[in-house]
Structure 1
Amino acid sequence: MFAVDRMLLWHRRMSGAALAAFALVLLDPQVARAEPGVPVPPNGLLSDRGKGDISEADRDFAVKVRLAGLWEIPAGEMAQEKSEDPRIQAIGRDIASQHVALDKLVRAAAKKLDVTLPNKPNADQQTWLAEMRDAEGAEFDRVYIDRLRAAHGKIFPAIATIRASTRNDTVRKLAQRTNQFVMTHMTLLESSGIVDFAALPTAPPPAAAAGATANAAQPRTAASSATSLSVAGTPALAIVVVALASAAITAFALRAFPRNSRRSYARQRGRYYET
């Protein structure tokens, strides 16, 4: 009988622990800031040992990441100095500071992989910077937002190609991190409200075999969704498992000892404590 008492006491404690864990998940600042249902890539699961073959495309990718910082950092500084719009100033500040961080990542990767990086923007980027230096006020805002949004739109699919195809673990991790930077920058630029979406390049039409490709991709899509859900839902799943296990133990205890037996046990327990 005392074993039952200990088991029921354990159940109450476990229920309290499960509720406390659930409360911590709800109050965790990282969870609060995350968009519900949208997973954050677990970059820590990727290795970064410089292992695997490096293709010319991998090397070119590292060069492009470096070039992006070489012109977007001074462009962001100009946005803070020349724009009269506080929102554009904030966008320029955020993108410039984030490119400083990304530049450190690409230089570290290049050193590990023995990839030579450029030290100045290319001809097109220098032209864009010259446009910004010559523009003022609202015209500067338009040039800054349009040039950066167009550049991010071009590098975005290139990142996906490298992330999906590279054999090198350092390039793979750099591509994943760069992708997060680029998506953030595109979102910031679009938050200005002055992006000319109609002027963006039109996506090419689907290939003739698009139907067959879609059918072949369907299992992979399902698998991808399942993986995302498993990663994003791990804390909540653990809480559910604990709660279900606790409920199952309680149900077993209640079925194993009928009500009359429990009443008899309670009376005996009362007499025990009275002595």
Structure 2
Amino acid sequence: MRFSRNATGTLFVGGAMALTLAALAYPSMLGVSTVSSSPSRVIAQTQWGPLTEGDRDFVVKVRAAGLWEYPVGQIGLQKGTTKGVIEASKHLVDGHAALDTTCRKIAPMLNITLPNIASPQQEGFVTTLKSDSGKKFDSDFANILRMTHGSIFNTVAKIRSTTKNSLVRALADQANDTVLDHITVMEKTGLVDFDQTIFQQTTPPKLPASDQTPPPPPAGQPQVVLTPPPNATSKPVDIDGIAGGNGGGGASPGPSPSPTVG
């Protein structure tokens, strides 16, 4: 399988990768008054260590990734035609539910506002896969997810090696394991076109920030929760243990339902 090289195909494939690689402008839309272009700039001193722009953006990225990859996993469970695609779909739902729990736990502790829906480009991936069927779905699913996870892998490693914040470090540890697992199960489908995937990974198009930015949640909107499957094997980080019992609040599911696939 090779990705479409026409304008529309390039927008979808490259667009999601650009979202994965680029620092999101999202936090500046939520009332952060001084935002520089430096990911190493410290924006807050916390009891768990300094929080940089890069740290904050990473937490938002992990949340945003789950908001589209979790529903895609649900779609894969319905539409996948091979055992490999079904298994990979299970890993998406399981892994991102656990990551989301960790994100929702640490975000209020670090005063980070999380999105409730993915960016327009991420939603475009969901729409594309909803419209696919049969072997085309299997192939697009494996290649799109392998590309996006391959792109974020280096970002996770950079945050893990540079952050001085213990909560962000714990999230990066979990994200590293989850992303590697998802890369592996996509490759095990036997459907990944490595030449084209790596090409898309390394040559993202330049796209407007508005297409790459999840909209801020309306005031008072219940937080969307990515509900773990009944047979979940992935677990969120023990934030209370890391925080010394001072991590109260932020992780309870609340009244909002988990995303569903229409």
CA contact (8 A) 2:148 2:201 kept: no
> Distance in 2 between the 1:203 and 1:73 partners?
22
What is the aligned counterpart of 2:60 among 42, 47, 63?
Answer: 63
Instruction: State the one-letter code of the partner of 2:50.
Output: D
Find the counterpart in structure 1 of residue 121 from structure 2. 124
Distance 2:115 2:90 in 1: 23
**Aligned mates of 1:176, 1:87 — CA distance in 2:** 26
Cα distance in 2 for residues equivalent to 1:67 and 1:127: 13
Give 1:139's aligned residue: 136
Displacement of 1:202: 5.5
Count of residue pairs the alignment pairs up: 157
2:166 aligned partner: 169
Q: 1:204 to 1:118 in 2, by over 3 A?
A: closer
Matched to 2:175, the amino acid is T
Contact 1:58/1:171 (<8 A) preserved: yes
CA RMSD of aligned residues (A): 2.0
Greater per-residue helix proportion: 1
Q: Which residue pairs with 1:150 in the alignment?
A: 147
Does the CA-based 8 Å contact 1:156-1:182 persist in structure 2? yes
> What residue identity is the alignment partner of 2:168?
V
In structure 2, C-alpha distance between the alignment counterparts of 1:50 and 1:94, rounded to whole Å: 34
Is the CA contact (8 Å cut-off) linking 1:76 and 1:96 kept in structure 2?
yes
Counterpart-to-counterpart distance in 1, 2:153 and 2:118: 19
Is the alpha carbon distance of 1:105 and 1:193 closer, same or farther for their aligned partners in structure 2, counting shifts above 3 Å? same
Q: 2:102 pairs with 100, 105, 110, which one? A: 105
C-alpha displacement of 1:146: 1.1
Which of the residues 188, 191, 202 maps onto 2:185?
188
Residue by residue over 1:129-185, the C-alpha shift from the partner in whole angstroms, topping out at 9 and shown as x without a partner, is 111011000000111111111110111111111111111111111111110110011
Secondary structure in 2 aligned to 1:158? Answer: helix
The residue matched to 1:200 in structure 2 has which SS?
helix
Taking the aligned partners of 1:87 and 1:152, their CA distance within structure 2 comes to 17
Cα contact 2:156–2:172 (8 A) shared by 1:
yes
Q: Which residue of 2 aligns with 1:200?
A: 197
Determine the structure 2 residue equivalent to 1:43.
none
Segments ≥4 residues shifted beyond 4 Å: 202-205
> Could you tell me the percent identity over the aligned residues?
36
Cα distance 1:186–1:50, how it changes in 2: closer, same or farther (>3 A)? farther
- TM-superposed CA distance for 1:203, in Å, is 11
- Structure-1-length-normalised TM-score: 0.54
- Distance in 2 (CA, whole Å) between partners of 1:175 and 1:203 is 24
Give the unaligned 5+ runs of structure 2: 1-45, 203-262
Task: Give the Cα separation in 2 of the matches to 1:204 and 1:125.
Answer: 15
Q: Distance in 1 between matches of 2:87 and 2:54?
A: 34
Rg (Cα) greater in structure: 1
Matching residue within 88, 92, 96 for 1:95: 92
- Take 1:100 and 1:66, find their aligned partners in 2: how far apart are those partners? 10
Aligned ranges 1:225-264 → 2 under 5 Å: none
Query: Which of 109, 114, 120 is the matching residue for 2:111?
Result: 114
- The 2-side partners of 1:204 and 1:194 are apart by 17
Distance 1:65-1:204 versus aligned 2 partners, 3 A rule = closer
The residue type equivalent to 1:193 in the other structure is G
- SS state of the match for residue 54, structure 1? strand
Q: Contact conserved, 2:107 with 2:114, CA < 8 A, in 1?
A: yes
- TM-score, scaled relative to structure 2: 0.57
Distance 1:103 1:140, change over 3 A: same
Paired with 1:170 and 1:204, the residues of 2 have a C-alpha distance of: 28
- Of structures 1 and 2, the one with the larger relative CO (CA 8 A, separation 6+) is 2
Aligned residue for 1:73, secondary structure, equals helix
